[in-house]
Amino acid sequence: MKGSIIKRGGTYYYQCYPEPNKKVRKTLKTRDLQVAKARAREMEKDFLLKVAQGDLDSLKTKKPATLGAIADCYLTESEKRGQAGHKMASKTAIRNVRSLERVSGGLDQRASVLTTRGLDRFCFAKLDGKRGQELVRARNAVASVLRKARSVFADWALAVYKRESLVLPDGILEWRKHRPVKEDHGNYRLPLENPDLVQKCKKAGQELVVQAEHLSGAWILCYELALRAKEASSVKWNWFVRRGDHYGLLIVNRPNDDFRVKGTEREIQVHSAVYDTLRNWADSIKPDYDYCLPFDSFNKRYNYITRDLADWMRDLGFGPKEFHKCAHELRKLKGSEWYSDPNLGPAVAQEWLGHKDISTTCKYYASLDRVIQPPTPEWS
């Protein structure tokens, strides 16, 4: 059996006739002729093996699975992951599937309907005619729906679909990466014209720790250690290692804990007084618990950070329009202190914050530094 290479629309294909009147055509997924020839030789060997085995059906192009089949598989596996202790709630999985249904127009269709053009059309239909604040709210709502729909095709889900022999369209990764709209969170920087709010917040946080109140743990993790909300919700005591007279907190990828680092892996140096205070507070609620936040599930720990702490900060004056993520404002405050500390500086701030690029640290955290005064002229 000898095949041939043909070109359609700029892409090369391998075409052969394994038996009379039976044509098979497979894409070589390249626009480079030399690469196409190399792939065609490998594909021809595979075809010859299949023909020798009499397995001609496997040469047929399989149609993508229906979205309904994918959704059922996703919900089943999500429930198993939740029971195994992973960060997956059944309500979250159901919301993700409903978002996929909205984006695709129905789960009775095949997965091939998931295209970047389809996403663009969906967004245009939702945003057309909107203006001002109405447009901002609509854009945030659409971005939220798209984010949930993409979750159905998370890396772990793709592995499950492959295991269950559910065929996905070739462009599913491109579809997952496509971002036709982004949420508008306003200005990232903490306004320098609100120094009183900063001092009020820091003073109230110190009182939380001194009095060992309910939100002490949230303040220590989000401000003193500048952790992101999901990091603070996931951190365990065995992530700390003794480093002489202080501790090191290892924020690294931990597959067994279903924890993946955002940014870069890092080690934060933690003062022993900070560690001891956090430990005493946690042991007073639930002694010898694995997690630093002594609550039974990830969702409870996450809500403790993103809701309870946020409500406390809203009462201090952090308005929702100006400050979208309250816990992240504490991270920004501490990051700015590390940045401006002469004993630490930008490089250490970048490392402890886990930024991949120091330009991120300089762009967002230097802006929280003290107000710089112009130098006095020599003649004055």
For 5-44, the pLDDT digits (tens) are: 888 878 888 887 766 777 777 788 888 888 888 888 888 7
Residue 353 covered by a domain: no
Residue 371 covered by a domain: no
- Domain-terminating residue out of 59, 83, 99: 59
Bridge-partner residues for 266, per DSSP? 251
Q: What is the DSSP letter of 374?
A: P
Average pLDDT on 120-148 reads 86
Q: How many whole angstroms separate alpha carbon 7 and alpha carbon 36?
A: 10
In this structure, are 148 and 124 located in the same domain?
yes
Overall domain count for the chain? 3
Structure tokens at 262: 């955002």
Q: How many whole angstroms separate alpha carbon 96 and alpha carbon 175?
A: 16
Domain region containing 51: 4-59
pLDDT value, residue 139: 85
> 91 with 153: CB under 8 angstroms?
no
In this structure, are 51 and 121 located in the same domain?
no
Residue 370 covered by a domain: no
pLDDT band at 82; cut points 50, 70, 90: confident
Dump pLDDT digits (tens) for 224-248.
999 999 999 999 999 999 999 999 9
Whether the predicted model's global pTM rises above the 0.75 cut = no
Does 191 have pLDDT greater than 50?
A: no
- Domain-terminating residue out of 19, 34, 59: 59
Give which of 131, 18, 113 is closest to 67, Cα–Cα.
Answer: 113
Contact partners, residue 353, CB within 8 Å, separation at least 6 = 226, 263, 266, 331, 335, 338, 361, 365
pLDDT band at 193; cut points 50, 70, 90: low
Percent of the chain with pLDDT over 70: 88
Residue 145 covered by a domain: yes
> 142 with 200: CB under 8 angstroms?
no
In this structure, are 103 and 134 located in the same domain?
yes
Q: How many whole angstroms separate alpha carbon 130 and alpha carbon 138?
A: 8
In this structure, are 131 and 240 located in the same domain?
no
In this structure, are 147 and 235 located in the same domain?
no
262 φ, ψ (degrees, to nearest 5):
-95, 130
In this structure, are 303 and 249 located in the same domain?
yes
Strand order in the sheet with 4-8: 4-8, 11-19, 22-27
**Segments of the chain assigned E as strands:** 4-8, 11-19, 22-27, 240-243, 246-251, 266-271
More confident of the two residues 58 and 299:
299
Average pLDDT on 283-311 reads 92
Q: What is the CA radius of gyration of the chain?
A: 27
In this structure, are 302 and 234 located in the same domain?
yes
Does 58 have pLDDT greater than 70?
A: no
What residue type is assigned to position 78 of the chain? S
Helices (H), 211-268: 216-219, 229-234
Q: How many whole angstroms separate alpha carbon 225 and alpha carbon 246?
A: 13
- Domain-terminating residue out of 177, 207, 238: 177
The mean of the pLDDT values for the chain is: 84
pLDDT value, residue 313: 92
Q: How many whole angstroms separate alpha carbon 244 and alpha carbon 60?
A: 64
Helices (H) and strands (E) in the chain, counts: 16, 6
Polymer length in residues for the chain: 380
Contact partners, residue 327, CB within 8 Å, separation at least 6 = 218, 222, 228, 229, 232, 305, 306, 309, 310, 313
> Poorest-confidence range of 92-96, 129-133, 174-178?
129-133
